[in-house]
Amino acid sequence: MRLFFEVAYKGTNYHGWQIQQNAVTVQGEINKVISTICQQDINITGSGRTDTGVHCEQQFFHADIDSTWSLEDLQFKMNSMLPFDIAINSICEVNKESHSRFDAISRTYEYRINTKKNPFLKDESYYYNKPLDIPVMNQAATLLTHSEQDFECFSKIKTEVNHFRCNITNAEWKKENDILIFNITANRFLRGMVRAIVGTLIEVGLKKITIADFAEIIASKDRTKAGRAAPPEGLFLTTVSYPKDIFK
């Protein structure tokens, strides 16, 4: 049967989600544990990938399991064997054709900037104490949500994709006490896209570039025109959404 697993992890100690040789990854750790429990080689398929040091509050992966374990016992056993910074939050059965990556209809990320030095947030936020003009940054962010657009300017240069078009439905900054939070939702994201957007919007907030400049960067489709990528520790994948009819 095909199962969907909901997973959360702290990315500090991992070279991202995707399995790779000579590196510790989230997918690699889960593959080892689930294969050991089910006594068969299982390669999980994730709803997407995260880079080194990026965190995740909700990610999904699917696997085809031939096992007598109940879903509750499988979840308990996986959590007891996985490192403490990886947690399986739920498991459910889905239709055989369901795919954790291709069936996802939207993904939401948050980027968190801590404006006050806090040792307890060192690995879970970007410490940045220069004053930023949040209203102007939000004005620029609205340019991201004009229906489907080509965002090659915010994509890593060496990436294997068929196109650079994404439909961003929400992009907004808000402040909660000492934390600035950028929330962004889209049908898909390019590699390094959110961190590049955040880095460029920070330049808007510093008045280094104008809203008009930001629009020109999008139109240029040129990564060298955009700002540097914000550090990975501030980025969280928070939500992945699916149509209800894929679940049994």
Which residue's entry shows tokens 């900054």?
Answer: 173
Whether the per-residue pLDDT at 67 is higher than 80: the answer is no
Residues 6+ away with beta carbon under 8 Å from 76: none
Residues 6+ away with beta carbon under 8 Å from 69: 37, 38, 77
Residues of the chain with CATH 3.30.70.580: 2-102
The CATH number for 2-102, chosen from 3.30.1370.60, 3.30.70.580, 3.30.2350.10, 3.30.1370.110, is: 3.30.70.580
Q: What confidence score (pLDDT) does residue 113 get?
A: 98
pTM (2 d.p.): 0.94
Whether the per-residue pLDDT at 147 is higher than 90: the answer is no
Q: What is the pLDDT of residues 175-205, one digit of tens each?
A: 999 999 999 999 999 999 999 999 999 999 9
- How far apart, in whole angstroms, are the C-alpha atoms of residue 90 and residue 72? 8
The CATH number for 106-239, chosen from 3.30.420.40, 1.10.3720.10, 3.30.70.660, 3.40.50.1370, is: 3.30.70.660
Residues of the chain with CATH 3.30.70.660: 106-239
In which element (H, E) is residue 166 found? strand 165-166
Catalytic, out of 41, 51, 73, 85: 51
Listed in sequence order, the DSSP H helices in the chain are 26-38, 71-81, 134-141, 193-205, 211-220
Mean pLDDT over each residue of the chain, to the nearest integer = 95
Q: What is the dihedral of CA 102, 87, 92, 69, to 10 degrees?
A: 130
Confidence class of residue 21 from pLDDT cuts 50, 70 and 90?
Answer: confident
Q: Examine the residue annotation and report whether 51 is marked as an active-site residue of this protein.
A: yes
Q: What Rg, from alpha-carbon coordinates, does the chain have?
A: 19
